Amino acid sequence: MPTIGSPPSPLALAKGLRRGFDRGSYRRGLAVGVATLLQILGQRRVSPVTAAVVFPMEPVFALAFSLALGLEELS
């Protein structure tokens, strides 16, 4: 019997990982990969200063889209 704070056994971890991955997980991973690739390709066409401003703004854009789609609420 594991105690509180003890790490999970490798077998329990493997079972949890198998259950945790579904089609949506692979789609999300693909979407992240495509988005990153597009950012890298776009960075080639803009100045380094513009790229340095746009890359850190990614979380701001993500929040804006999430708010626009109604997935987040400001409290």
Domain that holds residue 30: 9-44
User: Domain tally for the chain?
Assistant: 2
Taking the whole predicted model, whether its pTM rises above 0.75 is answered as: no
> Is residue 4 domain-resident?
no
> Is residue 2 domain-resident?
no
Tell me, what's the pLDDT at 68? 92
Q: pLDDT tens digits, residue range 47-72?
A: 989 888 888 888 898 889 889 988 88
Is the domain of 30 the same as that of 51? no
**Three-class secondary structure assignment of the chain:** CCCCCCCCCHHHHHHHHHHHCCHHHHHHHHHHHHHHHHHHHHHCCCCHHHHHHHHHHHHHHHHHHHHHCCCCCCC
> Is residue 3 domain-resident?
no
